[in-house]
Amino acid sequence: MNFNKLKMRKFNKLLIGLALFSTLSPIFLTYAQEPITTIPIISDCISRTDITDKILCVVQKVFYILGFVALAVGAFSIFQAAWTFMTAGEKAEEVGKARSKIVFAIVGIIVALLSFAIAFLIKQLLESSR
């Protein structure tokens, strides 16, 4: 294995670790301040009386969480592909890989944005059918 590829893999692992740490550390610090008695994300869903409302609320929250995770992964993938693109030099194979990573990341971001739209559409359809 090439020394530069080994350094690049270590750098990518470090970058992923830093991204995860910087993303999750404020959440953990916030929850460390006081004891958790309920699940904050779905606590408003639990207080609803109708079972359909509860299920709809939880499904909507799950779509939102997955959408935000997909957006974050897509943004990170674009940065990683840009890094690969910059360090590829004149290697046509590496440039092609970087371009395909960027295309897949953009498609992933579009799908994530569509998940928000799908969640909103399902909510509107279920609320109008009552």
Give me the mean pLDDT over the 10-28 stretch. Answer: 73
Judged on CB neighbours under 10 Å (0-12, 13-18, 19+), 98 is: buried
Q: Across the chain, what does the average pLDDT equal?
A: 78
pLDDT in tens, 70-109: 888 888 889 888 888 888 888 888 888 889 999 999 998 8
Residue 123: both structure tokens together: 């909510």
State the amino acid at position 11 in one-letter form: F
Give me the mean pLDDT over the 44-49 stretch. Answer: 80
Confidence band, pLDDT 50/70/90 cuts, at residue 7: confident
What lies within 8 Å, CB to CB, of 41 at 6+ separation is 61, 65
Least confidently predicted of 27-31, 43-47, 91-95: 27-31
Asked whether the CA dihedral 39, 44, 49, 54 is positive or negative, the reply is negative
